């Protein structure tokens, strides 16, 4: 059915996009082009030992950046893509995200991952080994503080009771949760706890294998009926035209989150967004 595939814009808070004027121009251009989302990822610190990301790369905090964008837009949804949840205090993060959801009029999508760089965890004084277990507990704790009348949670890594945190998110019981990552644990987390799954920098074959893996995990997992269908978002690492977009849609992808061209200036990025809006959004 034409027009079902949604489009998002990735890396709105990174690199050239991280400069305030450019970030606003790109977010407003995406909104005008009928993109449904903009996404901001994170690395709190970058290690000089890592080879894939230069340590002087610009990463604005995604919650701060998306709040800034919220004040300059009206309809486009705001996705954290992805917050590294085990590096955060869950109650502090819950307060920040609830504030963003309220200030944006209920436009937040809460995307999380656990990360892959031990260097970053070491620098933050956090355990790399148990990051998955902490992510599961932190999600449960955040859902409790966001939605329960008498919120309480008691786990190995976080425990609280007899506290409140208002305002709750405008979206109740909580904003949509999206999980990224290809590991079995990440796929299980997506199936059992999330509204969506996010795959970063994948081509068609990789996307097909990831969706097949998700379906296998789903056979062995219990998914609450309240979560509905698992929405699949892919940030493709290949150029997208109408034919390619249709092929992603036929695999079961619901949203393509486009990675902006590297080293492009602001006018070129705006043109990229405008062209996508004119040729793909609402067409696939």
Domain range summary for the chain, segments of one domain joined by +: 6-279
**3-state SS, residue 18:** helix
Whole-prediction pTM value?
A: 0.97
Residue count (the chain) = 284
pLDDT bin (cut points 50, 70, 90) of residue 192 is: very high
Tell me what the pLDDT averaged over the chain comes to: 96
Q: Residue 26 gets which letter from DSSP?
A: H
Residue 61 has pLDDT above 80, yes or no: yes
Residue 3 has pLDDT above 70, yes or no: no
Query: Comparing C-alpha atoms, which of 250, 197, 252, 257 is closest to residue 223?
Result: 197
Q: Residue 82 gets which letter from DSSP?
A: T
CATH no., domain 6-279: 3.20.20.30
């Amino acid at each position: 059915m034409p027009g079902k595939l949604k489009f998002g814009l990735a890396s709105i808070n990174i690199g050239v996009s991280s400069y305030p004027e450019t970030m606003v121009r790109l977010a407003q251009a995406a909104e005008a082009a009928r993109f449904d989302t903009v996404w901001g990822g994170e690395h709190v610190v970058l290690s000089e030992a890592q080879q894939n990301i230069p340590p002087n790369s610009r990463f604005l905090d995604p919650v701060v950046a998306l709040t800034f964008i919220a004040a300059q837009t009206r309809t486009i949804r705001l996705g954290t893509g992805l917050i590294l949840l085990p590096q955060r205090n869950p109650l502090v993060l819950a307060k920040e995200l609830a504030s963003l959801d309220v200030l944006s009029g209920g436009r937040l999508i809460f995307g999380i991952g656990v990360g892959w760089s031990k260097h970053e965890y070491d620098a933050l004084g956090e355990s790399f080994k148990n990051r998955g277990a902490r992510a599961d507990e932190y999600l449960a704790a955040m859902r409790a503080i966001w939605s329960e009348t008498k919120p309480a949670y008691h786990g190995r890594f976080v425990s609280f009771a007899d506290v409140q945190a208002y305002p709750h998110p405008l979206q109740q019981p909580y904003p949509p949760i999206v999980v990224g990552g290809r590991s079995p644990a990440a796929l299980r987390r997506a199936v059992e706890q999330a509204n969506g799954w996010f795959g970063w920098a994948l081509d068609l074959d990789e996307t097909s294998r990831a969706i097949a893996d998700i379906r296998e995990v789903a056979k062995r997992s219990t998914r609450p009926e309240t979560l509905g269908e698992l929405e699949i978002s892919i940030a493709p690492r290949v150029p997208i035209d109408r034919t390619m977009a249709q092929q992603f849609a036929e695999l079961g992808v619901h949203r393509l989150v486009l990675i902006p061209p590297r080293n492009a200036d602001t006018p070129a990025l705006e043109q990229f967004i405008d062209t996508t809006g004119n040729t793909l959004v609402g067409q696939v």
